[in-house]
Amino acid sequence: MRNLFVLSAALALAVSTSAFATSHKEAPGMAASGAMTKQQSKMGDCNKEAGDKKGDARKAFMKTCLSNKPATQQDKMKKCNVDAAGKKGDERKAFMKECLSA
């Protein structure tokens, strides 16, 4: 009788451990299909845009980038100016027009 009880307890422990491991395979925040959520995708995009920024500058950039607020005209102008580096004359004007209208 005692052996049956020990065997039952061991079996129950093995089954519950297996069920727990199976139910926790997904990373927190991941969709059931394994696809990235909208926020995770946005985080990846912002991380790429942050480039070599470090410390407080990076924190501020990421906070702004991840917020749902649309970029202000001033923010667009700053970003477009950085992206237009090296362009001159008509090429720069065309680029800025396109960039600021996006």
pTM over 0.85: no
Give the span between the Cα atoms of 79 and 53, in whole angstroms: 14
Residue 94 has pLDDT above 90, yes or no: yes
Please name which of 43, 81, 41, 83 lies closest in space to residue 62, comparing C-alpha atoms.
43
Tell me what the mean pLDDT of segment 22-38 comes to: 60
Tell me what the mean pLDDT of segment 4-33 comes to: 56
Contacts of 75 (CB under 8 A, 6+ apart): 64
In the chain, pLDDT over 90 holds for what percent of residues? 19
pLDDT tens for 59-86 read 888 888 888 666 788 888 888 999 999 9
